[in-house]
Homo-oligomer: A and B are copies of this chain.
Amino acid sequence: MKKLADYSLDELRLFEEQAKKEYNEYLEKGVSINMARGKPAAEQLDLSDDLMSLTKEQVGFTSEDGTDCRNYGVLFGLNETRKLFGEMLGVDASKVIACGNSSLNLMYDYLSQCCSHGVAGNEPWLFNKNRKFIALVPGYDRHFAIAEHFGLQMISVPMTSTGPDMDKVEEIIKDPDVKGMFCVPKYSNPDGITYSDETVERLAAMKPAAKDFRVIWDAAYIIHDLYEEHDELKNILDTAEKYGNEDNFVMFASTSKITYAGAGVAVMAASDRNIKEIASRLTLQIISYDKINQLKHAYIFRTLDDVREKMKQHAEILRPKFDAVLQVLDEKLSGLGIAKWNSPRGGYFISLDCVTGSAKYVGQLCKECGLTLTSVGATHPYGIDPDDQNIRIAPSCPTADELKVATNILCAAVKLAACKELLSGK
């Protein structure tokens, strides 16, 4: 197939006219579709109706060790919750702290602690005016926002198909002011990439100049497979331990996309030393987290297989949506050389790179047509994509039919924006 860049001027004008016609059809029809955020659809939330309606007769109010979950106490959360997440993350239950409903909250708090109190006896990060953080791009806007909030100057490192560009990472961490990085190691947001074994090994082996370097290991999609054939992620803590680097990593996960996005259970997991240091804050910050919600989750999920079963039900709902987007992208854009995208086997996003310098215009065209995308630029630090090319697609909420319409609009917009760029160069 002929690449758009190789089209003659006349061919390009004809192509643009056709794209314009397609776009205008949707514009006239008038749509209203939101593909902006990685929220579960209502039908996914319905999968946890049992959780919503558990009674005291069913669940009781005591955990397996007899703790009255209604009262204060048990700072680290219920043993059964810690054990379940421990299995999910591949770490011992003793290294897991089961908390409230938000893993983002736990990440924020952890970085806040690093900033105000320092890590492992080192100076609080706030007192270092040159403090920096590695930002993998494209990445998750809420990660970037937290880093920005704490004045961590972000250094962008591109993602590759196997994870972060490790050559770059290994170079940057020679600077002792570089204090850490956010990673979404499985089904990354937004690429849907799972770090290769080699990448995990290189991350685990890192010897950063900063003695207080910390990787925020956001296992947001650790069990969120869409297909039978799914990605496997090498165990980071086990691997890091080989190098004596287990303290470099703090893991976070939640049931936000397993049960309820707004009312699940979140955990953190880390080395014994890190857990001890986190506990030194936690014991002052809260008396205990909501153990009733933990108990109810433990009732629903006795084993990790119960979780896997639930995730299959989610996949049944999500897979056709991902397939719908990917099919239209393939039909409309493949071979033209104006867009690249991935076909993730899990997670919540598809990442689309269009022609350099055209993403904002694509976003604008989509918006005018009634299609809301994640704010263009949001996948980069400070909301600025220097190449203006990345667009995050969040297919979870709309229906498959809506997604077909949405992706058709998106493809028409990508074509129009590409024509604009190419024509301006002719």
Contact = CB atoms under 8 A, between A and B. Distances in A.
Interface string A39-70: 11010010011001111110101000000111
Interface string A15-50: 000000000000000000000010110100100110
A7 interface: no
A52 B61 contact: yes
A105 B261 contact: no
Interface in A270-308: 281, 284-293
A108 B292 contact: no
Contact of A104 (B73, B112, B286, B290): B286
Contact of A71 (B142, B260, B284): B260
Nearest to A53: B55
B142 A284 contact: yes
Contacts of A335: none
Given A39-B71, A126-B126, A108 B285 contact: yes
Interface residues of A, number: 55
Interface in A79-110: 100-102, 104-105, 108-109
Given A39-B72, A56-B53, A101 B289 contact: yes
22 contacts: A39-B72, A42-B68, A48-B70, A52-B56, A52-B61, A73-B262, A100-B100, A100-B101, A100-B290, A101-B289, A102-B288, A105-B285, A108-B284, A108-B285, A115-B116, A116-B116, A145-B284, A146-B284, A146-B285, A260-B292, A262-B287, A262-B290
A13 interface: no
Interface in A122-168: 124, 126, 142, 145-146, 149-150
A72 B262 contact: yes
Nearest to A72: B261
A384 interface: no
Contacts of A68: 42, 45
A423 interface: no
B56 A287 contact: no
A5 interface: no
A73 B256 CA distance: 12
Contacts of A262: 69-73, 287-292
A209 interface: no
